[in-house]
Amino acid sequence: MITISLCMIVKNEAEVLARCLSSYQAVMDEIIVVDTGSTDNTKEIARKYTNLVYDFRWTGDFSDARNYSFSKASKDYIFCADADEVLDEENRERFLLLKQSLLPEIDIVQMYYVNQLSHNTIYNFDREYRPKLYKRIRRFVWEGAIHEAVRLDPVIYDSDVEILHLPQGDHAGRDLSAFVRMHEKGIRPDKRLHNIYAKELMIAGKEDDFIRAIPTFLDSIEDVNRSSDEIKEAACILARAYRIRHEIPQFFKYAMKAVALDGCSEICMELGDYYRSQGDLTEAVLWYYNAAFETECILKLSIQTKESLLALADCYEDLGEPELSASYRKQAEGAAQTD
């Protein structure tokens, strides 16, 4: 049976830490808690479950803290957890079965992360896989009877373990502020972080967050090394930001850039909202329809599956077409039930 080190980074998690560690304690062989500057009794709570509690001076980089926590692990695998997670009894049993049966060639185990849509997150689905369990020491092997090469891609196993996400508050503001600080330091987000920033803005950002993001995405849209997907993401954020600021020429400039790149549900929704605000319901309907049926979402799934349909229903109600309004509202309700 494999052994597992639970590695966590925490700061001011006194409200939820005991709940988390109590739920994981029975399936872990080692618990490592790295504190990044708590001012409450987080560390005292952690010491009730482990003597492996460490201080780490916060650098502004979550990866630095995660890497430090991983460096303290000594077991076969490392499980990466956040303090607002809970493992219920049914999934503790699944986890124990996984420990007993996991094949040694598995490098990464994915587990379902559930309850994501109850809080503002960067995710579009309430239940989806996340990599959670990592082999601590990865041994490289040669493959191929001829033209042999070292296997570099990890062997990933999709398990049936479900981890319940129960945050106490909204982390979006913290994350979005971190992206602003990155830009101020001259750090260019890579493709993955660029997508995460745009998603978090579209899903959970407030108006001020969009306006503060303008410099980052202006840099992106003018960067010749960015992919067309990244340019489209940037155009969506800039179009929303300039519409918020009522700078209509700039709004259309970036909206049309996205349309020129085959469009997406997000930019069609922006155009629909603009025309609706101007009282041009017929033009708004055209763009809401395109958001729902003629384009794909790239950042926020509910724009395509629900929000555009509700907007169509509202427009048709105002246009005096109750049957069409009821039809689209019913479709939106059906989408909401499947989320």
With bands split at pLDDT 50, 70 and 90, how would you rate the model's confidence at 116? low
Q: Tell me the range of 89-93, 166-170, 330-334 where mean pLDDT is highest.
A: 89-93
In the listed set 112, 137, 165, which residue is the last one of a domain according to the structure? Answer: 165
- Is there a single domain that holds both residue 127 and residue 184? no
- Is there a single domain that holds both residue 315 and residue 199? yes
- Is there a single domain that holds both residue 226 and residue 267? yes
Rg over CA atoms, the chain: 23
Residue 88 is predicted with a pLDDT of 94
- Is there a single domain that holds both residue 109 and residue 223? no
Taking residues 196-204, what's their average pLDDT?
Answer: 93
Reported as a single tens digit per residue, the pLDDT across 5-59 is: 999 999 999 999 999 999 999 999 999 999 999 999 999 999 999 999 999 999 8
- Is there a single domain that holds both residue 15 and residue 148? yes
Distance CA 289, CA 282 (A): 11
Residue 335 is predicted with a pLDDT of 72
CATH number, position 106: 3.90.550.10
- Is there a single domain that holds both residue 247 and residue 312? yes
Residue 329 placed within a domain:
yes
Residue 170 placed within a domain:
no
- Is there a single domain that holds both residue 204 and residue 115? no
C-alpha dihedral over 145, 150, 152, 157, to 10 degrees? 50
pTM: 0.75
Residue 222 is predicted with a pLDDT of 94
Q: Which residues contact 244 (CB under 8 A, 6 or more apart)?
A: 207, 210, 211
Structure tokens at 222: 């003018």
Reported as a single tens digit per residue, the pLDDT across 296-339 is: 999 999 999 999 999 999 999 999 999 999 999 999 988 755 55
Distance CA 327, CA 320 (A): 14
On the question of pLDDT at 119 being above 80, the answer is no
Cβ atoms 121, 192 nearer than 8 A: no
Residue 139 is predicted with a pLDDT of 82
Average pLDDT value for the chain: 91
Looking at the 3D structure of the chain, how many domains does it have?
Answer: 2
Residue 235 is predicted with a pLDDT of 98
Beta bridge partners of 127: 114
Reported as a single tens digit per residue, the pLDDT across 122-153 is: 555 567 889 999 999 988 877 777 767 888 88
- Is there a single domain that holds both residue 227 and residue 161? no
Distance CA 275, CA 320 (A): 18
Is residue 209 exposed (0-12), middle (13-18) or buried (19+ Cβ within 10 Å)?
buried
CATH number, position 280: 1.25.40.10
- Is there a single domain that holds both residue 159 and residue 179? no
Phi first, then psi: what are they for 165, rounded to 5°?
Answer: -95, 115
In the listed set 133, 165, 197, which residue is the last one of a domain according to the structure? Answer: 165
Instruction: Tell me which residue range forms the domain holding 48.
Output: 4-165
Is residue 291 exposed (0-12), middle (13-18) or buried (19+ Cβ within 10 Å)?
buried
